[in-house]
């Protein structure tokens, strides 16, 4: 059904409205970043049982395990609260004691701090023992909140090894949306694909069998499953011999021998078992009838809060793309790590980076990212650029959580991942100057990927025709791009612009990481190195006449990639930004679904926001809408099968709009670690209205924009204790700013009003 536009005030109320109690009370407690540390599950199904020592002793339930003997405790201030000046935490071995306000393990007393998190600092915690905690805070020295509701947690028996706290996977039974029955054939549609298990209740005489088929795609008639789509678009057929009477049959999924022999594959836990991605089910030769309750698909995913985010705008295609990408983050979380879909089930750094940002945008969950980051540090893949993404992921983990334990624990590893070992006296890095040695491989933990451990520059993927692929390049190139492959005809050289632009970006991030860890000498060293790289980059790659960026040192070819990477990572001189943005825009979507992340970031950051919106909402072949039109309900590995014949339909690295809509279009992201200060800089272009809810570790944020020819309105809700940095366009009407109905004395600068340290709560800001 077509969505209708919702007025600004009504929409924001729909997205967020929650009645607060009269007395402030902390909420959103997290133990070691886990939201549900008191969860109890059985084979992935949540149980209505309290977490206690008796239940823990049974050892048959899934219970989240804290992987630290000094867990981090987080909470969210009440919506009514502006700031906190102090807090008190109680941790107890007994729930009854805690309800009596007794912290027999730790009573922190009143700690004068505005933080909404603290590391446990009480008596030693035992392993495999249930503990309980709660917190209260002071808004001033006299006004104190009520205590929060308690949260339980358990310390893992192996917490001394290098792990990070993660929650168990969730299994949810789903019935089909549609059953089409024609004589002895049933065609069943679940509407969306999912990684799942399947059981069916069938009746037989003991003398017959049925053919059961599942898949991700259908034929043109939409009444049968397509078996010819390609080897990575999932299709599976099996035969069931029916027993006499009515029985439930659980489908056993095929064994992937290539995946099973790979030691770096992420395996499904025993309490869940194997899963398979499918949307459609077909049953042939069955003489009976089926009702929806007799067909159960059990979807498996990591814990996911559907209410953590919402988005709606006056652009219906953009709304559809948002929902598509949001669901993709949930569906692809099926094994508790960021993996490359179903084909290999291996984490890749660039895939994980896009997955991380998009996951954070749609749900404030951080355990999958941490597990994936740790895995990738010690199980690296082969592309040069992928290694650098380790550093960006680590920074975003710290920025969103405020928890420095990961960057502190693996700081020495992150320093290696900068690839400064590949730099020379120019300051630039190269994989072709003889610096890839056995010692280098050892430091990077490159102990797999065959005999050839060398890093190889990737730029984008796929780079050219598949081996033994098409002879007619137009089939693979399509009508919307100039070159085969996805790197816009990139000309590889000894020194490559894309690699060095990303290298420069990671050096700047290492400046911040080193500073956060009080590594002052390192911070200065990385700053100096970044400045050296920038000078060398401009001297080596920039065309002095046009201001555009060449692919390498000895070529005049200028790909979209060389220019968009340089733009996004801040390497374009101010005088050349406009020409580079225009060049990048002219090429439209000449990159892959991976490259689109970098492309869109650069466009929104440097004045190309309307073009970025147009690309996200496009209906061309190289668009997210085409993925939906193609028949996928989870983001794909490529824009269309013609561009990657072995693509899969369940690949989160195609989900860039989930984070771009939040971080860039609606302009909402953390400015300081732990989202204590957040940026709200909407860039909605020509869209008339847009409203967003997204969630941070500090609470939910809502932003709604509404513009006409004469006015611009921005409504925000900022969580308690959080400060906002607001940027409001001043291009409408008389360019006067009203805050909650009152004329502001704030002056316009450079076409906008910039409000810093904006207070928590709900506010309406209007320019008219």
Termini Cα distance of the chain: 35
Average pLDDT taken over every residue of the chain? 93
* CA-wise closest residue to 9 among 767, 766, 768: 766
Please give the share of the chain, as a percent, with pLDDT higher than 90: 84
CB 107 within 8 A of CB 136: no
Which tens digits make up the pLDDT trace of 754-763? 999 999 999 9
Give the strand pairing for 723-729 and 689-696: unpaired
What pLDDT, on the 0 to 100 scale, is given for residue 15? 47
Q: Report the C-alpha gap between 709 and 730 in whole angstroms.
A: 12
The answer for residues whose C-beta is within 8 angstroms of residue 100's C-beta and 6 or more apart is none
**What DSSP assignment string belongs to 319-342?**
HHHHHHHHHHHHHTTTTSS--S-T
Domains of the chain: 26-154 (2.60.40.10), 170-301 (2.60.120.260), 306-665 (1.50.10.10), 673-767 (2.60.420.10)
Q: Report the C-alpha gap between 163 and 128 in whole angstroms.
A: 16
What pLDDT, on the 0 to 100 scale, is given for residue 12? 46
Three-class SS state of 400: helix
pLDDT band at 731 (very low <50, low <70, confident <90, very high): confident
Query: 27-41, 155-169, 648-662: which range is least confident on average?
Result: 155-169
Which tens digits make up the pLDDT trace of 334-364? 999 999 989 899 999 999 999 999 999 999 9
Task: Determine phi and psi for 182, rounding to 5 degrees.
Answer: -130, 105
pLDDT band at 471 (very low <50, low <70, confident <90, very high): very low
What pLDDT, on the 0 to 100 scale, is given for residue 18? 41
Q: What would the two tokens of residue 424 be? A: 């020379």
β-sheet bridge partners, residue 76: 27
Which tens digits make up the pLDDT trace of 264-277? 899 999 999 999 99
What pLDDT, on the 0 to 100 scale, is given for residue 451? 55
* Cα 690–chain centre separation: 21
CB 79 within 8 A of CB 20: yes
What pLDDT, on the 0 to 100 scale, is given for residue 158? 82
* CA-wise closest residue to 563 among 493, 488, 484: 488
- What is the 8-class DSSP label of residue 423? B
What pLDDT, on the 0 to 100 scale, is given for residue 1? 37
What pLDDT, on the 0 to 100 scale, is given for residue 160? 62
Which tens digits make up the pLDDT trace of 598-635? 999 999 999 999 999 999 999 999 999 999 999 999 99
Which tens digits make up the pLDDT trace of 184-218? 899 999 999 999 999 999 999 999 999 999 999 99
Task: Determine phi and psi for 520, rounding to 5 degrees.
Answer: -65, -40
The answer for residues whose C-beta is within 8 angstroms of residue 311's C-beta and 6 or more apart is 319, 322, 326, 661, 662, 666, 690, 691, 692, 693
Sign of torsion, CA 457 461 465 466? positive
The mean pLDDT of 316-333, rounded to a whole number, is: 98
């Amino acid at each position: 059904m077509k969505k209708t536009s919702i007025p600004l005030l009504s929409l924001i109320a729909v997205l967020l409205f929650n009645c607060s109690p009269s007395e402030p009370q902390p909420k959103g407690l997290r133990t070691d970043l886990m939201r549900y540390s008191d969860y109890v599950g059985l084979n992935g199904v949540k149980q209505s049982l309290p977490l206690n020592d008796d239940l823990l002793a049974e050892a048959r339930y899934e219970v989240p395990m804290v992987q630290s003997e000094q867990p981090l405790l987080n909470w969210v201030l009440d919506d009514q609260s502006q700031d906190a000046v102090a807090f008190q935490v109680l941790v107890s071995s007994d729930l009854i004691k805690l309800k009596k306000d007794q912290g027999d393990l730790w009573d922190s007393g009143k700690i004068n701090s505005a933080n909404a998190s603290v590391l446990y600092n009480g008596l030693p915690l035992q392993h495999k023992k249930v503990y309980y905690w709660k917190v209260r805070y002071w808004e001033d020295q006299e006004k104190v909140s009520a205590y929060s509701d308690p949260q339980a947690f358990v310390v893992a028996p192996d917490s001394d090894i290098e792990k990070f706290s993660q929650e168990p996977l969730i299994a949810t039974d789903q019935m089909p949306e549609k059953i089409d029955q024609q004589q002895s054939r049933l065609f069943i549609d679940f509407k969306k694909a999912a990684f799942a298990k399947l059981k069916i209740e069938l009746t037989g005489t003991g003398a017959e069998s049925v053919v059961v088929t599942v898949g991700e795609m259908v034929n043109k008639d939409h009444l049968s499953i397509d078996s010819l789509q390609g080897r990575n678009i999932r299709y599976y057929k099996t035969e069931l011999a029916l027993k006499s009477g009515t029985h439930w049959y659980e489908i056993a999924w095929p064994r992937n021998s290539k995946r099973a022999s790979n030691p770096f594959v992420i395996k499904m836990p025993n309490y869940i078992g194997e899963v398979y991605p499918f949307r459609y089910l077909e049953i042939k030769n069955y003489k009976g009838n089926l009702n929806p309750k007799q067909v159960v698909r059990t979807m498996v995913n990591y814990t996911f809060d559907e209410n953590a985010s919402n988005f709606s705008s006056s652009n219906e295609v953009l709304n559809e793309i948002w929902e598509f990408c949001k669901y993709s983050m949930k569906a692809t979380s099926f094994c508790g790590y960021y993996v490359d879909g179903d084909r290999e089930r291996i984490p890749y750094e660039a895939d994980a980076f896009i997955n991380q940002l998009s996951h954070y945008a749609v749900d404030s969950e951080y355990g999958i990212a941490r597990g994936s980051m740790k895995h990738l540090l010690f199980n690296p893949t082969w592309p040069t650029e992928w290694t650098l993404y380790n550093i960006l992921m680590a920074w975003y983990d710290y920025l969103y959580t405020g928890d420095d334990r990961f960057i502190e624990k693996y700081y020495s590893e992150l320093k290696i991942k900068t690839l400064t070992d590949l730099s020379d006296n120019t300051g630039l890095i190269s994989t072709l100057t003889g610096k890839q040695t056995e010692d280098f491989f050892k430091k990077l933990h490159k102990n797999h990927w065959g005999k050839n451990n060398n890093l190889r520059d990737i730029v984008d993927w796929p780079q050219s025709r598949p081996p033994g692929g098409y002879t007619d390049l137009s089939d693979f190139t399509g009508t919307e791009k100039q070159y085969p492959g996805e790197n816009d005809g990139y000309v590889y050289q000894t020194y490559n612009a894309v690699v060095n632009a990303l290298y420069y970006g990671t050096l700047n991030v290492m400046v911040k990481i080193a500073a956060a860890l009080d590594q002052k000498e390192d911070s200065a060293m990385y700053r100096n190195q970044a400045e050296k790289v920038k000078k060398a980059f401009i001297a080596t790659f920039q065309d002095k006449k046009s201001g555009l960026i060449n692919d390498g040192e000895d070529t005049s070819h200028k790909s979209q990639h060389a220019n968009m990477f340089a733009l996004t990572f801040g390497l374009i001189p101010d005088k050349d930004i406009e020409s580079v943005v225009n060049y990048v825009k002219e090429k439209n979507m000449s990159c892959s679904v991976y490259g689109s992340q970098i492309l869109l970031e650069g466009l929104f950051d440097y004045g190309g926001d309307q073009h970025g919106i147009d690309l996200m909402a496009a209906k061309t072949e190289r668009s997210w809408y085409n993925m939906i039109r193609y028949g996928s309900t989870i983001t794909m590995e490529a824009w269309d099968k013609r561009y990657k014949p072995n693509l899969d339909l369940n690949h989160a690295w195609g989900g860039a709009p989930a984070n771009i809509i939040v971080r860039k279009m609606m302009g909402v992201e953390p400015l300081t670690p732990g989202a204590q200060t957040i940026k709200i800089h909407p860039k909605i272009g020509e869209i008339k209205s847009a409203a967003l809810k997204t969630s941070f570790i500090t609470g939910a944020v809502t932003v709604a924009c509404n513009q006409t020819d004469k006015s611009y309105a921005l409504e925000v809700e900022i969580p308690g204790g959080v400060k906002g940095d607001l940027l409001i366009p001043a291009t409408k009407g008389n360019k006067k700013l009203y805050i909650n109905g009152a004329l502001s004395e704030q002056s316009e600068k450079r076409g906008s009003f910039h409000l810093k340290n904006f207070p928590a709560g709900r506010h309406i800001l209007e320019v008219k």
